[in-house]
Each structure stands twice: as C-alpha cells, then as structure tokens.
Amino acid sequence: MNVVSPIQARAGVLGPDAGIAILDCDIHPRARSLADFRPYMTERWWNYLQTYGLRARHGFNKGYVFPKAQPLACRVDSWPAEGGPGSDLDLLRAQCLDECNIAHGILNPLGIGQGDQNNGLSAAMAFAVNEWQVEAFCRPEPRLRASVVVPYEDGAASAAEIRRRAGDPNFAHVLLMSRTAEPLGNPRYWPIYEAAEEAGLPIGIHVFGYSGWALTNGGWPSFYIEEMTEHATSCQALVVSMIVEGVFERFPKLKVVMIESGLGWIPALGWRLDKHWKHLKAEVPHLTRAPSEYLKEHFWVSTQPMEEPEAASHLLDVMEWLGQDRILFATDYPHWDFDDPRTALPATLTAAQRRAILGGNARAVYGFL
C-alpha cells in the first residue's frame, strides 16, 4: 500500500513545474464550418456532404445522444467571437498552450465523420480532416501535432489513410473512438493495427463516438452522468476484446493510448481477466501470457478526468499497478471538464512522478522531441 507523505504533498502543490516540457495528449480542434474541409475534398464528396450530410451510426440523431453539461460540451469561456470552441487558433493558443505552458499538444478532432454510415464519405472526410489539421493548426503552430483520423469501420480504407500519413512528423497517433460497430479486437479492425504498427504510430482511443448500440448493455440510461461514467465500462469491453482476440500476439509492437477513459477501473479488470484466464486458457490458446501482462505492456492512459478517491493513497496504488510510466497528461481543451496541469494532478505525487506524467511518459510513447 502507498503511504502519502506530507512532504511530497507540499512539493506537489508548491514545487514549480518550470522546466517541464508539458505534453497534452487531448486537445479538440473544431472547423469553423464544413466549408473548412472543402479544399481537401473532391467535388463528388463535397456535393454529397452538402446534399446528405454526415450520418453517425445512430438513429434519429441530430446533435448528441445525451445532453451535455455545457453547450457543445465546452467551457463557457472558450467561445471565440466567431465560430465554435477550438476553431480559433489564437484563442486555443492563449487559453491552452500559453496559459497551461504546453510544449506540445495532440489534436483529436471529434464529430467529423469517423464511423459514418457511409464508408466512402467517412474515408473522404478522414483525408480532408487530416489535411485540414496540418494546414490550419500544425503548420501555423509548431507546438501542435495532428491525429491520423481514419474511417475506422472500413479497415482497408483506414489502413490506406494511415500509410498515406506514415513518416509525416505532423502526425502523433491514429485516432479511434471507443464506441464502434463491433468490439475493437474484432479482426475487421486489424488492418488498422497492422498499418499503425508498421508506421510506428500509437493507436489513440478517445471515448465517445456512435456504435449504433445502447450505451449500456442494460439499455439506455437516463442521465448525462451515466454517460460520463459509462466510459469505464465500454472501455473495459474494448480492452478485453483487443487482448483476448490476440491483437497483441499478432502486432507485438502496437501501443494503445486510452484517452479520457479514467484509470481507476483498470487494475480490477486485470485481476478479473487473469482469474478467468486460469480456467479458460484452452478457449483462447493464442494467448501466451496472462491477460494483465498484455494490458500492462500495450496500454497507456490519459489523466483527464482522473478518479479522485477519498484516500489519496488509493490513487497511488492504482498508478503503481499500471506502472508510473503509463500515465499521460491531458487537458481536454476546450471541453467543459478541462484539466489545468497546475491543479489537476494529486498533490501526493513526487516531483519525479509529476514530471513523468506531465511530459516524460508521453515523450517515451510518442517519440517526438
């Protein structure tokens, strides 16, 4: 068990983070309008988009399946004079990069056609969104890196998009959503993992998206707080799927970064998997190690929003199980549940742990700078 030292607690609060090159692995850019993507789309797909629009895998959905706590789920103070939060590079610089002293930030665009019902449109959008990230954000602001957005329900098209971006230093990881048509270990998604491993790009799995299924396997919940909490359970399902389907046996160099999923649930999942694996090894003979070993070796997690147990030592216990090198800082700017690096981390961390979480760990995973 971890014991919280009062000296560490003071160092966490008062110790300067000066000299730490903070890496933020979750910043959400937004287009001013769909027209921002037009320069990167063929006339055929631009006309299609204008005529039919995007169609998430979800019936009757105009807007969100659950209401958000703030308009567009964004900080009330993050709206620029024109356009939505995250669409104005100057404001993003001021409120996120400058204010929080972020040395490098990774862009994760949301709601831009990933997992669209029309695979062709989804692939065209992914290409356009990737070009747009580089031109609108990464070139004018060298602190920012893009995600390789892929049409993840189409494995082959996704792999082609990843190979198109391979070797381009503007791209930090391949972006998937946690809610997909089938559990992410399903072989239909393996072309994505193959291309990502080949390109040396981690897979970033950001929570949300539209699976077409109810948010819980007991059906639709009533409240937004249930959606926020549900990420822990849907992410458990995808982690189990990726491990037991054998993704990491086939792609042993694959790295997966879970973004915004929380982390308190992970050790218990590892214990449960290992318990059952002892009895059910014969069912999944392609697994050569205990499931928790794949979990500890192939997965990383972002901080925001991190559980805050009543006893601070319990969070340290969780971090110890995961491995101190597995935890990566994220702001989630401009969303309403944004974390500020000065206040988001528990005061009980040592200065070395704090440095690692704020920047060192992410640098080791992503490999840039």
Partner 1 sequence: MPAGATPPGTPPTPARAVATRHVVAATDEIPPGGRKLVAIGGRDILVFNLAGEFFAIANRCPHNGGSLCAGRTTGLVQSSEPGRYHYSRQGEIIRCPWHNWEFDIRTGRSVIDPRRIKVRAFPAEVASGAALQAETFPVQVEGEYVVVEA
By the 8 A CB rule, do 90 and 151 touch?
A: no
Please state the closest distance from residue 337 (CB atom) to partner 1, in A: 6
Nearer to partner 1, 76 or 364 (CB): 76
Nearer to partner 1, 208 or 336 (CB): 336
Report the alpha-carbon distance of residue 11 to residue 5 in Å, rounded: 10
Please state the closest distance from residue 84 (CB atom) to partner 1, in A: 15
Nearer to partner 1, 73 or 207 (CB): 73
Please state the closest distance from residue 340 (CB atom) to partner 1, in A: 5
3-state secondary structure of 107: strand
Question: Contact letters (x/-) for partner 1, 315-354, by CB under 8 A?
Answer: ---------------------xxxxx-xxx----------
225 membership: H or E segment, kind and range: helix 224-244
SS (H, E, C) 262-297: CCCCHHHHHHHHHHHHHHHHHHCCCCCCCHHHHHHH
Please state the closest distance from residue 338 (CB atom) to partner 1, in A: 6
Report the alpha-carbon distance of residue 12 to residue 358 in Å, rounded: 12
Nearer to partner 1, 90 or 320 (CB): 90
Nearer to partner 1, 64 or 321 (CB): 64
Nearer to partner 1, 75 or 165 (CB): 75
Q: Does 76 bind partner 1 (CB under 8 A)?
A: yes
Please state the closest distance from residue 136 (CB atom) to partner 1, in A: 25
Nearer to partner 1, 51 or 343 (CB): 343
Q: Which residues of 5-35 are buried (b: 16+ CB within 10 A; e: fewer)?
A: eeebeebbeeeebeebbbbbbbbbbbbeebe
Which tokens hold the place of 333? 């700017």
164 membership: H or E segment, kind and range: helix 155-165
Candidates 72-80, 134-142, 170-178, 260-268: pick the segment binding partner 1 (CB under 8 A).
72-80
Residue from 30, 75, 104, 255 touching partner 1 (CB under 8 A): that is 75
User: How far apart, in Å, are the Cα atoms of 9 and each of 14, 27, 302, 347, 350?
Assistant: 9, 28, 22, 5, 8
Please state the closest distance from residue 310 (CB atom) to partner 1, in A: 13
Residue from 35, 52, 53, 77 touching partner 1 (CB under 8 A): that is 77
Report the alpha-carbon distance of residue 170 to residue 340 in Å, rounded: 25
Please state the closest distance from residue 366 (CB atom) to partner 1, in A: 26
Number of residues that bind partner 1 (CB under 8 A): 13
Residue from 2, 70, 186, 236 touching partner 1 (CB under 8 A): that is 70
76 membership: H or E segment, kind and range: none
Q: Does 81 bind partner 1 (CB under 8 A)?
A: no
Residue 174: HSE in the Cβ half-sphere, 13 Å Cα cutoff: 31
Which tokens hold the place of 127? 């290409």
Residues that bind partner 1 (CB under 8 A): 69-70, 75-77, 336-340, 342-344
